[in-house]
Structure 1
Amino acid sequence: MKAVILAGGYGTRIGEETHLKPKPMIEIGTKPILWHIMSLYSHYGITEFIICLGYKGYAIKEFFLNYNLHMSDFTIHLNDNTITNHSHRIEPWKVTLINTGLNTETGGRVKKIQNYIGDEPFCLTYGDGLSNVNIKELIAFHKKHGKTATVTAVQPPGRFGSLVLDKQSVTSFQEKPLGDGGWVNGGFFVLNPDVFNYISGDKSVFETDTLVQLVNKNELVAYQHTGFWHPMDTLRDKNKLVELWESNNAPWKVW
């Protein structure tokens, strides 16, 4: 199974960082949040990734093109232009980087990677949120319920889109109401390929177009995750995640 990561947004609410780099490249500890997300999937055996690029996508391309240099200690021999690696981390990952446009909406970005998916279910998540969701259990839940889409429902404080649930079925989707502490869209989707039938084009917003259509067709179910989930929308969010990581108390570090 492949994991698709949305990594093309402007990240305007954390502009202190994103004027220099795309949001998924903001570092938690010494590694981009994108790396942390991929490490979670990799822990559960998903090692093939499709990254949907947009704003400052070249920075993400450069990171993976020079991955060993970014993750290694090394000596450069300038006299003969050779490099000696002293320590390095090798990941069993296959990473496909796709330019999905600068102003393409979230649904449109998903539509643009359709040719790279094939006819199998796939995972999808945002490049700016961390969780300790059990991906293996999430996928099993999706297969058991036999619907087009599964969303991971989480319970942070309000300010996020609200899911109304009837057992596992989603009966209503409201994006970012004034919060009441209910279940919200936490990303970490599992999708069948027919989800592409619910995406019209570049201006299609996955959250308010695609998910609403799926609700109306009774094709969206929710995996209720009561563990850790935290977005990185603001500098305060980023600092909180860094604090958890540097104190060796990062709940998402299951690997």
Structure 2
Amino acid sequence: MKVVILAGGKGTRMGSLSQNIPKPMINIANKPILQYQIEIAKRFNLTDIILLTGYKGEVVEDYFGNGENWGVNISCYRETIPLGTAGAVKEVEDYLHDDFLVFYGDVIMDIDLKSVIRYHMKRKPIATLVVHPNDHPYDSDLIEVNNEGKVITFHSKPHKQDIFIRNLVNAALYILSPRIMNFLPKGTYSDFGKDIFPKLVNDGEIIYAYNTPEYIKDIGTLERLEEVERDIVSGKLYRLNKKNKRKAIFLDRDGVLNYEIDLLRTPEELELLPDVPNAIKKINTSEYLSVVVTNQPVVAKGLASEKDIYQIHSKLDTVLGRNRAFLDRIYYCPHHPEKGFHGERIEYKIHCDCRKPNTGMINQAVYDLNIDLDESFIIGDRTVDILTGINAGLKTILVRTGYAGDDGVFQCEPDFIFSNLKESTEFIIDCYDALVNKAKDILSGISINNKRNIIILIAGLSRSGKSTFSKIISTILNKKGIHNTHLNLDNWLVGIQERKDWMAVSERYKYNEIVKDIATLLEGKEIKVNKYNVKTRNIDEHQKSIILKEGEALIIDGVVGLDIEFLRKIADIKIYVEINETMRRKRFFDFYMFKGLTEEEIKKLYVKRQDDEIPIVIQTKNYADYIIPMEK
């Protein structure tokens, strides 16, 4: 398959960089943009290349010659007057008798071209356009496709404020059938995106879109050039190729991205939660994919149509896009197994593999995007999301928005709990890898001991991240083949009804019972623990039986862990976690707001803790073997 590269751009927005050379010859990381394109073509054995030059065309021709230095065959054709992208291609129609690729010469990309070619050849359309969501759809020409990827219509900028459109943008990489020459005017200016493709669709010709999250960016501004250069130097350009497994953050929709509304069925009902666009933007600038997986039984129940869901997701895309954020994919399940609803749609009343907690949507994302589940997360507000993550082998995060885990449908525990999506994404992207490395260092000398129990004690101020680091420690131990049990000392708190104002932290925790129960556990005997309910601030009546087997590790975490002499003496590893007070205070206020306290009540409690808890706990830092900062 031949490759046609449009290399005649002036690059007027690039200032002095393109004063004496065409835009595709601007150097990025010590190579012209055009050289990156020739090298990726060569990598996929696409060695017959036509360069369409214009402004300062001799610079391109002198540099690349016939292509032998790059192991390709290059032919150059220079236009004397600007003919636009389509007009320029029309000029070389005599050399294009088979399907061919079109690159824009100001684009840096690393895409699995074999996959694009395979997609095109299977469908045999007049054109296949590589598309992707971007962070500025409001000033981009947008493409609308059906469920099969067939292009339905084009939406040229500017876009009306009251219209919601899915975020899918022409990425300036095409595979074209030679039949397209019949629709290209000869000798006059015409543009593929604005003139040719929209007319083809209107005339009933078939165009397909190949949606990929791989790296493809045009060098439209100096700022973009600097960004791309950083990505090349860091290796990000190559890591995002589809051949490499990608990390993803799977997101539930209702209660995580938008306010929870029971059976949301219209775009008007969708309203994003605070800071959601910033959280999604943070994912976009990382190497994680943002993938929504949502159950939408409103379709099966006849409360909303597929078109309604499409419009809801169009609004979601549009609102995020106005805030320079985007979702890489949205998957939804329309099914619901229970029958008997007025107006229900029988074809969707089935037991399927896509309705969470089944993993069908996640499996589809893995197939589409080559996702590494072991390195990925799911964030949800309900137990069904957590169980889905467990079933798929993902790390799970519960947020305290939406249902906040109080749906009561499944009995399962998340790996981590955070206040909202923003806090969750900051943890994943800014902190998680560093904390894992710290945990690995701490546990580097620990190995399986079939007789002896390893005891790890983790302490620190309230809301500093003790349980989070405990889970990371547990995960590392599991990977070492060391089974472990986790004890949260909050389960030995005095219930809120029994607390007195005079009680300091050492009275709020039942020190004697902690010592007695853990000593019993270490003797190989069973103990029964009543779980502390963080929302009611009382101890639940339901008891959990715990027994520690020989060779298992025991992880104990709690505010007062290092204040109890018995625990310090038995611990093999003593850890103190801390976080800057501004962040801890915000977490403290968010946490007690979630519990239902007023702002005044929280302020009063915070001041009280400054007096009767914080000094005591901070002093115990001196007993720690390791001090772990939990922020970036």
TM superposition score category, shorter chain reference = 0.7 to 0.9
Q: Where do 1:15-34 residues align within 5 Å?
A: 15-34=15-34
Residue 173 of structure 2 corresponds to which residue in structure 1? 188
Change (3 A) 1:140 1:209: same
Determine whether 1:109 maps to 2:109. no
Query: Could you tell me which of 233, 247, 255 is aligned with 2:234?
Result: 247
Aligned residue runs from structure 1 range 14-93, under 5 A? 14-65=14-65, 90-93=69-72
What amino acid is the match of 1:208? K
SS of the residue 1:106 aligns to: helix
**Does residue 9 in structure 1 map to residue 23 in structure 2?**
no
Pick the structure with greater CA Rg. Answer: 2
How many angstroms apart in 2 are the aligned matches of 1:186 and 1:250? 15
AA at the equivalent of 1:225: T
1:213 and 2:199 correspond: yes
1:113 Cα shift?
1.1
> CA separation of 1:252/1:49 partners in 2, compared to 1, >3 Å: closer, same or farther?
farther
Match of 1:103, SS state, is coil
CA contact (8 A) 2:110 2:237 kept: no
Residue number in structure 2 paired with 1:154:
132
Q: Equivalents in 2 of 1:128, 1:252: separation in Å?
A: 21
Compute the displacement of 1:181 (Å): 7.3
1:55, 1:102 within 8 Å by CA — same for their partners in 2? no
Corresponding position of 1:77:
none
Moved more, 46-55 or 174-183: 174-183
Correspondence for 2:107 among 125, 129, 135: 129
CA distance in 1, matches of 2:207, 2:169: 14
CA contact (8 A) 1:155 1:184 kept: yes
Indicate the residue corresponding to 1:74 in structure 2. none
Letter in 1 for 2:185: S
Amino acid at match of 1:136: K
Partner of 1:96: 75
Q: Are the aligned partners of 1:162 and 1:175 in contact in 2 as well (CA < 8 Å)? A: yes
Q: 1:161 to 1:101 in 2, by over 3 A?
A: farther
Q: Secondary structure at the match of 1:186?
A: strand
Sort the Cα spacing of 1:153 and 1:111 in 2 relative to 1 into closer, same or farther, 3 A: same
Task: Describe the SS at the equivalent of 1:250.
Answer: helix
- TM-superposed CA distance for 1:230, in Å, is 1.4
Distance in 2 between the 1:131 and 1:41 partners? 11
Judge which range, 182-191 or 213-222, deviates more.
Answer: 213-222
Superposed, 1:170-189 pairs within 5 Å as 170-177=151-158, 182-189=167-174
Q: Which moved more, 1:152-161 or 1:243-252?
A: 243-252
Superposed displacement of residue 100, structure 1: 2.1
Q: Give the alignment's TM-score, normalised by structure 1.
A: 0.84
Which position in structure 2 is the counterpart of 1:85? Answer: none
Give the conservation status (yes or no) of the 8 Å contact 1:156–1:229.
no
Q: Matched residue of 2:119: which SS?
A: helix
Shift of 1:131: 2.2
Q: SS at 2:172's partner residue?
A: coil
SS at match of 1:9: coil
Q: What are the ranges of 5 or more consecutive residues in structure 1 without an aligned counterpart?
A: 69-89
- Going from structure 1 to structure 2, the CA distance change for 1:99 and 1:244 (only over 3 Å counts) comes to same
The answer to whether the 8 A contact 1:169-1:218 is kept is no
CA distance, structure 1, for counterparts of residue 191 and residue 99 of structure 2: 20
The answer for the alignment partner of 1:86 in structure 2 is none
Matches of 1:108 and 1:149 in 2, distance apart?
Answer: 16
Native 8 Å contact 1:106 1:205 kept in 2 = yes
Provide the rounded CA distance (Å) in 2 between the counterparts of 1:26 and 1:99: 18
Residue-by-residue CA offset, 1:186-220 (whole Å, 9 max, x unaligned): 02211110111111132122211111122222321
- The letter of the residue matching 2:200 is L
Unaligned runs of 5+ in 2: 244-632
User: Counterpart of 2:145 in structure 1: which amino acid?
Assistant: L
1:10 aligns to what SS in structure 2? coil
Match of 1:169 among 121, 128, 150: 150
- Distance change (3 Å), C-alpha of 1:249 and 1:205: closer
CA drift of 1:252 comes to 7.3
Alpha-carbon distance, 1:176 to partner: 4.1
Compare 195-204 and 119-128 and name the one that shifted more. 195-204
Question: 1: distance between equivalents of 2:106 and 2:20?
Answer: 16
Q: How many residues were matched structurally?
A: 233
Does the CA contact (< 8 Å) of 1:7 and 1:24 recur in 2?
yes
Distance in 1 (CA, whole Å) between partners of 2:167 and 2:240 is 25
Q: Secondary structure at the match of 2:115?
A: helix
Partner of 2:215: 228
Equivalent position amino acid for 2:35 in 1: W
CA contact (8 A) 1:186 1:229 kept: yes
Change (3 A) 1:188 1:18: same
